[in-house]
């Protein structure tokens, strides 16, 4: 199991996380860590300690849960408006959803169209070894996200009609 401060704690720049695993796996992970990383920054280490302090940890995670609870229904509403194209499972936790789609285009090519035609960035499923799918983040300003998704809708309409 891996985790860190990037997603749930909204501190991606700190690049601090942890692993829970069998001892032999931890040993191999430490070897790679020692090879690639000298030490976290002093500021990052201090901020991580602050974020994990009693009381602060709960406050940060509570804020994250509130954002997820408020934003996911808005993303789901957009996905529902494209029910003929997308299929998804409601995420159990976190601010990321994955939806598979039924269109005659691979995910890398589809997100390239989003980028070049509408200046919108999404993560293609083939980055996870899963083609014909998209990863959606909904932990940011949901109004901004929905503006981008309205542009995605335009490209999806073109693809669905063969343009």
Does 61 fall in a domain?
Answer: no
Q: What is the pLDDT of residues 30-78, one digit of tens each?
A: 888 888 887 778 898 899 999 999 999 999 999 999 999 999 999 999 9
Say what the pTM is: 0.80
- Per DSSP, the residues of 29-84 read HHHHHHHH-S---HHHHHHHHHHHSTTHHHHHHHHHHHHHHHHHHHHHHHHHTTTT
- Residues 14 and 47 grouped into a single domain: yes
| Residues 6+ positions from 121 with CB-CB distance below 8 Å | 111, 114, 115
Domain that residue 18 falls in: 2-53
Rounded distance between C-alpha atoms, residue 59 and residue 17, angstroms: 19
Task: Collapse the DSSP code of 139 into the 3-class scheme (helix H, G, I; strand E, B; otherwise coil) and give the result.
Answer: coil
35 and 86 in a single domain? The answer is: no
Can you give the CATH number for the domain in which 137 is found?
A: 3.90.1150.10
Rounded average pLDDT over 21-34: 91
């Amino acid at each position: 199991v891996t985790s860190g401060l990037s997603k749930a704690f909204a501190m991606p720049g700190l690049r601090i996380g942890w692993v829970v695993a069998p001892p032999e796996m931890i040993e191999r992970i430490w070897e790679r860590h020692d090879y690639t990383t000298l030490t976290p920054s002093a500021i990052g280490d201090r901020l991580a300690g602050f974020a994990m302090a009693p009381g602060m940890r709960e406050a940060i995670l509570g804020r994250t849960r509130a954002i997820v609870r408020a934003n996911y229904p808005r993303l789901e509403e957009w996905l529902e408006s494209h029910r003929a194209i997308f299929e998804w499972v409601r995420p159990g936790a976190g601010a990321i959803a994955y939806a598979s789609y039924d269109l005659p285009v691979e995910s890398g090519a589809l997100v390239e169209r989003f980028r070049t035609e509408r200046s919108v960035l999404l993560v293609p499923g083939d980055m996870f070894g899963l083609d014909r799918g998209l990863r959606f983040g909904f932990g940011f300003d949901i109004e901004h996200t929905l503006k981008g998704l309205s542009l995605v809708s335009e490209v999806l309409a073109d693809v669905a009609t063969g343009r």
